Amino acid sequence: MTEQPRPRNPLEWAVPLPDDEVERALVVTAHPDDADFGAAGTIAGWVDAGIEVTLVLCTRASRAVSATPPGRRCRPSGSASSKPPRPSSG
């Protein structure tokens, strides 16, 4: 007996596991807010169900808009000083 080939569209054959059969989930996004806007409810449900969730962000966000007010500079994370930067004087 020859096995039938699967349809090309995974939505026609892929069936998600029920949450009680999942131990870990990996969420991979391309933009810093993708998980927040696209999957926050699903991720929260997984966490509430006791599923270990790991988020992976695949960007440097080099074109992101800075939330730092003009005249202020942020220290890179891991900086030795925990004091906020002083405003520039000019």
64 belongs to a structural domain: no
Instruction: State residue 61's pLDDT score.
Output: 65
SS percent in the chain: helix, strand, coil, step 5: 20, 15, 65
SS3 6: coil
Task: Extract the tokens encoding 32.
Answer: 């810093």
Q: Which residue has the higher pLDDT, 37 or 71?
A: 37
In a domain, 41, yes or no: yes
Range of the domain at 31: 21-57
* pLDDT score of 33: 86
When pLDDT is cut at 50, 70 and 90, the band that residue 26 belongs to is very high
Q: pLDDT of 45-74, one tens digit each?
A: 999 999 999 999 888 766 666 665 665 555
Instruction: Say if 50 falls within a structural domain.
Output: yes
Q: Is the pTM of this model over 0.75?
A: no
Q: Indicate the number of domains in the chain.
A: 1
Residue with tokens 């810093």: 32
Structure tokens, 8: 């090309």
